[in-house]
Structure 1
Amino acid sequence: MNWRGGLAGVVRRVGRRVDALVRRARRSHPMAFAAILAMTVVLAVASLSWESYFPASALIIPLLLGGLLLRFKQLLVLTLFTLTVSSFVVMSRPAALPKTGFVLVLGVIGWIVITNAKVRNQLGVPGNRGESMLMELRDTLTAQSELPEIPVGWRLEVAIRSAGASKFSGDFVVSTTHEQVLEVALVDVSGKGIDAGTRALLLSGAFGGLLGVVPAQEFLPSANRYIRRQDWDDDFATVVHVAVDLQTGDFDVRTAGHPPAILFDAWAGRWQTRESDGPLLGLMEAPEFAVNRGQLKLGDALFLYSDGMVETPRRDIGRGTDRLAGHAERLVGQGFLGGADELVKNAGGPGDDSAIVIIHRLAHG
């Protein structure tokens, strides 16, 4: 047991050292270039000296590492150098061994690596920094949806699922609390998955900056002006925005081309659709957005959701809303705890981004 634990510790230390070296190599491309060239030379010498232990195919390793770490020009030099060295190594082998085929395969691999690096070079992100940037953008979009702290007696839940299991979604949530007022906006950007992810990232930062800064009645007009300034051709966004007084439970709901909010009335045991008219954001210069006012009493819950939760090619929004309310009815007994994740999983459409927000005023504060 101790031997296994010691081996595991060694593996972890080696892994940390390798990870640290890779991070340093990403930051210092000349150092990585020199190290990979040196590796190529070492593998070539080893392959010439100990043919049985170091096959010539080991020269593929530095080429693949170069594709991950080097800039385009450095990778081009490395590819030519590796092809030259590998040709010399292979030609030094006995005549019975195949030679031309290996060099051709290595050349094809080099061409693939260079082609991928050329695309990344056009973006100015050498190596695998492009993938790292995408992960950072994804994390930024996820962080924008983090929920604020709310007083005891209230529960706020959100769940988002992207189409096709992608980590990017055209649906996002921004929220804030100020002066005992909770503001939440659920936004659905045109498109889905990765296609809408970049626009969602842009809008999440802008809308998050507007929320709580401008008056609640000015949020949607301000958001519309921002989208209009982007001068997008055919892109738009739908939004449902709610402002809740956390002391009295009074709320205002406004929508911009978005499915209406649903209110669960705990006293009557009924579900109410809170309609509020408003056009899509980005299509009109100075639209007007109607408001629907109400109050969350003890036990009541307000549901905000995207069209991916209720609309499919074979089902309109009205029928989808009834279906969503039916799923939510089963969660009443558990006080809607964990309801957002469960509803997205069971009611969300698989072919579209799905998101839901639940604002619940607990029956026993």
Structure 2
Amino acid sequence: MTAPATVQRRVVSTSRSARLRRTVHAESLWLTLLMVSTVVLSWAVITFQQSVPMTTMVLPLAVGTLLLGPGRLPWFVVFVLLALSLCVWLQDVFDLRRGVSVAVIFLYGLVVLLSSFRRTRLGVSGFRGESMLVDLRDQITDQGRLPRLPESWYAESVLRSAGGTPFAGDFTVANLADEGRRLDLVVVDVSGKGEEAGTRALMLSGALSGLLGALPPAYFLPSANRYLLRQDWPEGFATAVHLSVDLDSGEYELRTAGHPPALQLSAGSGRWSTLETEGPVLGLMADATYEVLRGKLQRGDSVLLYTDGLVETALRDYSQGIDRLRGRAERLLTKGVEGAAERLVAQLGASDDDRALVLLHRR
């Protein structure tokens, strides 16, 4: 290992240690403030029994759920419930209304404890857990963001998840290779939909992004297949389409893994052709081979890569959906390619399924 690399690792380790110390310090400060506020509220409930209801003791519990990690939260819940018990003991009058309030608070404290025990596996507080999920969701978006292309090319990518949730089983990966002369586009459909496929899509998108940037086009799908087989997920299969385009000549290689066929518009004839290749679904067969289809994009030509959520619904079969996509794309592209992918996704497919579409056009 070189000296600069060693120094870089030390800097990263020091930065992580500093962030950890800041996090621990901030959580300790929040715990102190919450305990002080609990004491103040207990004093108010005892002193001003007619004005301050015991239900105010719910406030520190609710705030602690958001700010404290699973290591400190259970002890804070016990502290609040003990303070509540003291308030009950020192009440001059304890009627049915107060009894119901106390029962509700104790029940809420039990719910907080149970959620804290479940959160122990993650090891972070509510806000930090949500922030991590948002970062992971953004990672999918960043890896699917299309790179800056030469002026003679235009590309657009659109993703819609089932039910409008922020997590989806469909995702795209893009990469520029050979010093910007080759563009690789991959559209993947993980088994399942929406949030149930979101965790697998998060993990798979990072792996495929690394493979796409490190391997020649012919080795990408076989390597992705071996990766999925090693995961041994109960529903660990996925379909994918991989398009590799030489941006200088327009020549391309297309491979699919159990995925819907790509569509190509020929500007010369104005006709759409279906680009079908053979290849098994990723994650089901060892030593799978993937047939390659070679072609060329002339000026004015376009290619569509999409997932089955865009062409398949409960009321429309697969082949009809592709015909409908071809017809709708033909009308929309006559008005210009910019924004066409967004309009296609908005008009086609079902809202209860994930949908992804990539449009590549040579000007």
Q: CA deviation at 1:90?
A: 4.3
Within 1, Cα distance between the matches of 2:75 and 2:287? 57
The yes-or-no answer on 1:118 pairing with 2:117 is yes
**Which residue number in structure 2 is paired with residue 87 of structure 1?**
85
Q: TM-score with structure 2 length normalisation?
A: 0.88
Distance of 2:165 and 2:85 partners within structure 1: 43
The answer to whether the aligner puts 1:323 opposite 2:321 as a matched pair is no
CA RMSD of aligned residues (A): 2.1
Q: Which moved more, 1:225-234 or 1:179-188?
A: 225-234
Deviations 1:20-46 (A, max 9, x none): xxxx77763332222111110112223
Which aligned runs of 4 or more in structure 1 are off by greater than 6 angstroms?
Answer: none
- C-alpha distance 26-113 of structure 1, shift in aligned 2 (>3 A): farther
**CA gap 1:75/1:218 in 2 versus in 1, 3 angstroms:** closer
State the distance in 2 between where 1:159 and 1:36 align: 45
Aligned position for 2:171: 172
List aligned pairs for 1:28-67, cutoff 5 A. Answer: 28-51=26-49, 54-67=52-65
Superimposed CA distance per residue, residues 287-332 of structure 1 (whole angstroms, 9 cap, x where no aligned partner) = 2211122211111100000011111233222111001111112212
1:339 equivalent to 2:337? Answer no
Distance 1:27 1:142, change over 3 A: farther
User: In the alignment, what sits opposite 2:204?
Assistant: 203
* CA–CA distance in structure 2, aligned partners of residues 44 and 139 of structure 1: 43
In the other structure, the counterpart of 2:288 is 287
| Equivalenced residues, count | 340
State the shift of 1:56 in Å: 2.7
Q: CA deviation at 1:110?
A: 0.7
Summarize the Cα distance change of 1:185–1:103 in structure 2 as closer, same or farther, 3 Å threshold: same
CA distance in 1, matches of 2:126, 2:358: 39
Equivalent residue for 1:162?
161
1:153-212 deviation line (CA, Å, top 9, x unaligned) = 110100011112111111111111123111101111111111111111111111111214
Distance 1:101 1:347, change over 3 A: same
Q: Which residue of 1 aligns with 2:230?
A: 229
Structure 2 spans left out of the alignment, 5+ residues: 1-21
2:59 counterpart letter in structure 1? I
**Amino acid in structure 2 at the alignment position of 1:231:** D
CA distance in 2, matches of 1:56, 1:353: 47
**Same amino acid, percent of matched pairs:** 45
Distance in 2, matches of 1:90 and 1:212, equals 65
Distance of 1:332 and 1:128 partners within structure 2:
44
Structure 1: any 5+ residue segments left out of the alignment?
1-23
Structure 1 residue 50 displacement after superposition: 4.2
Secondary structure of the 2:214 match is coil
- For 1:225 and 1:71, the matched residues in 2 are separated by 38
Q: Deviation of residue 51 (structure 1)?
A: 4.7
Name the counterpart of 2:261: 260
TM-score with structure 1 length normalisation? 0.87
Q: Which residue of 1 aligns with 2:73?
A: 75
